[in-house]
Structure 1
């Protein structure tokens, strides 16, 4: 069953009017870090940061200290930091058991008179089944949107970087709308608690509140009073979208955009694992003659990749699982690849990693999102997006500059045989994938990882 009636349903998406000169696209993680720090230092009214995590490392400490400094300079500043509840209370995957970032938050907060609250948002009772994947920072009347979290690699604090997308929009209506959502639907919930305070309730003690919270999130929407705006669908605009769980509004719009495409689709995803609904719309678009470009990270540019010469960990099999998926997809669409209608590009830049996600449709719509376009994003995590409608092509140059900066680090796949297969993988990976496939656990992995 399709998630909407027809492609014409796009006309029902109201947007917030934008001026082209209030939109800025950054092209590097280092620029993003410097811009974010400058905006925090210059803040006058409010700072709301929403991220999967704020890591206890040099870049994370730099951000946190910048927040404390801003609050000290202007005590009236309204500041809130929101991170995922579960992710904050565990160590890194594969590392020794620890109190996670929450222990660091408590130490830093105590030393700074608990001036900056850090909230844990429990989207599910277990991390495996849903996390806070909501993106977007609001500083005064500016929205800074990226799929990046806050740590060394995302902010290119040291030698390596994880490439993402970085968008700045100065718009009071949009900023107010996003802050209102955070206040009304997140911070007011009984399941939400500060992580920087000495006493943190155990997850098991708030299971009931978490379940109620998730249930309410399914009906939560951005309320931007868009009906009161002088909206002209023939001019530049932005529509904020949010969703959690199966068939949510964001999922529907993603599929709707693909269905409405007439000439061109470009998709970025770090983990090649499309939900069935997305795969169906891609197949239908190809049959309509739409040209499609999919840009995905090389398996060595995946954030879970571990070089074969290093000790093997189970999580290191994920990049190979995604490549298996990509090879299968490429094989089934080899005719489209050979004709040039479908283009698959692999991103790779030394030992840096790739975390881009989003879509560009017919030179008219651009979706900026943290949604990985995978089954987990479509069913489990709390996701959001900014949909930019640009019918007059006012942002054409910015859009092209961003795509050029992405594609210059990519190589085109001309045949599915260019991708490695199971027999080419390191022994531990090959054996693990064989066991997963034999028990069909690989299908479960695709759904939750």
Structure 2
């Protein structure tokens, strides 16, 4: 793993080291069901290593299925290296808005007790409090392949049941990429005293980890993926990027440079419409310069925090309405660009399913795969990563078009800001919360940590 000390030379997009690929090395999966089957197939075929990073691995049918598959793979091949990294805080609590419980760590302990050691699950504390930052790295390294998605591991992300949460899914065959991503997880995360076992009865207390967490954060601030520059001019290539903190954030810098270099078309996916200021201003500059911008966001009813009107309301249920209010203001501000076709805003909605897509497509030659929600929290607080694909010959263009076409099947174009519901039509509990936030100007503060 490459670490640079002192002032690091700031590289533009074109100067980043790229790992050479062929078009056959990249496969875009069609949806969450194929993502689940591919993950399980890859685990079953693994012979050398399985290193997984996700926000969480849930105590539900899909989470248990994945854990059982990992233990079965270890039993078949005792020399198989396995490591699972999830967020430390998220693993030790229940779902937001649900009853209190011991969290997913209880499942990990049960599995370890039943199957024995061999599938270590480590909790990564990016901060001492969850609201101050989480481990949001994504990527499953299995032998010489990387299965990359913004999805975590549970029933809805893996479509094990009636509902699914849509994300983006890429299977990339590249030993160099797999080595780079596995090295960062095992050497940086795995060797930190702050990163502790979750699959045991006597877990560390967060308070006891505070000094180690401080050292870990300083290490993350200088960490980078080590990527051999094997791609030549004109080659299809991929570069892993790390993002942490509000300063000298490699992933954030690449996102801004991607937007700024767009000339013909910029396509952005985000699940929560709450763009960081620098990203919003860069997008607005592209619109003014005549670049066509498309943003695909989930309808408020496709937000994972949405509470149907016939169910008991809790405060967290106001979030989708807050995001819709952000979108309404943005659309109103740029209504002329919407009318002229320079700005296309699409809302995704499919029955009772939810939307979790993230990333960028730029001028048919760059694509960013990322777990970052492209919001202020991801920009400043969470540990994020992404894979930057440079495709100057358009070898993956047909796969990208097919992916976008599948997504647009369940989208409607927002042709006017009045097409969105007004605050006056929201449920009364939501109206009260939004009025209180606006009166105290707390909505602006809230947007910075969501």
Partner of 1:122: 125
1: distance between equivalents of 2:441 and 2:214?
29
Partner of 1:233: 233
The correspondence of residues 77-226 of structure 1 with structure 2, limited to 5 A, is 77-226=80-229
Structure 1 vs Structure 2 CA RMSD: 1.1
> Contact 2:86–2:121 at 8 Å: present in 1 too?
yes
Q: Which moved more, 1:216-225 or 1:173-182?
A: 216-225
Partner of 1:3: none
- What is the CA deviation profile of residues 250-298 of structure 1, one whole-angstrom value per residue up to 9, with x for unaligned ones? 1011001000111100000000000000011011101111000000000
Q: CA deviation at 1:8?
A: 9.6
> Contact 1:114–1:196 at 8 Å: present in 2 too?
no
- What is the CA deviation profile of residues 200-235 of structure 1, one whole-angstrom value per residue up to 9, with x for unaligned ones? 111011111111111210110001233xx2x21311
TM-score by length of 2: 0.97
The correspondence of residues 29-428 of structure 1 with structure 2, limited to 5 A, is 29-226=32-229, 229=230, 231-247=231-247, 248-428=249-429
- What is the CA deviation profile of residues 98-119 of structure 1, one whole-angstrom value per residue up to 9, with x for unaligned ones? 2100111111111111221000
- What is the CA deviation profile of residues 128-163 of structure 1, one whole-angstrom value per residue up to 9, with x for unaligned ones? 010010000000000000000000000000000000
> Contact 1:8–1:260 at 8 Å: present in 2 too?
no
2: distance between equivalents of 1:112 and 1:391?
48
2: distance between equivalents of 1:422 and 1:208?
45
Runs ≥4 residues deviating over 3 A: none
Q: CA deviation at 1:332?
A: 0.2
Q: Which moved more, 1:310-319 or 1:93-102?
A: 93-102
Q: CA deviation at 1:21?
A: 0.5
Q: CA deviation at 1:437?
A: 1.1
SS at match of 1:169: strand
- What is the CA deviation profile of residues 8-40 of structure 1, one whole-angstrom value per residue up to 9, with x for unaligned ones? 932212210001101100011001001100110
> Contact 2:367–2:390 at 8 Å: present in 1 too?
yes
2: distance between equivalents of 1:195 and 1:9?
39
SS at match of 1:132: coil
SS at match of 2:312: coil
2: distance between equivalents of 1:436 and 1:156?
35
1: distance between equivalents of 2:264 and 2:12?
18
> Contact 2:19–2:228 at 8 Å: present in 1 too?
no
> Contact 1:164–1:355 at 8 Å: present in 2 too?
yes
SS at match of 1:133: coil
Unaligned runs of 5+ in 2: 1-9
SS at match of 2:104: helix
1: distance between equivalents of 2:260 and 2:337?
18
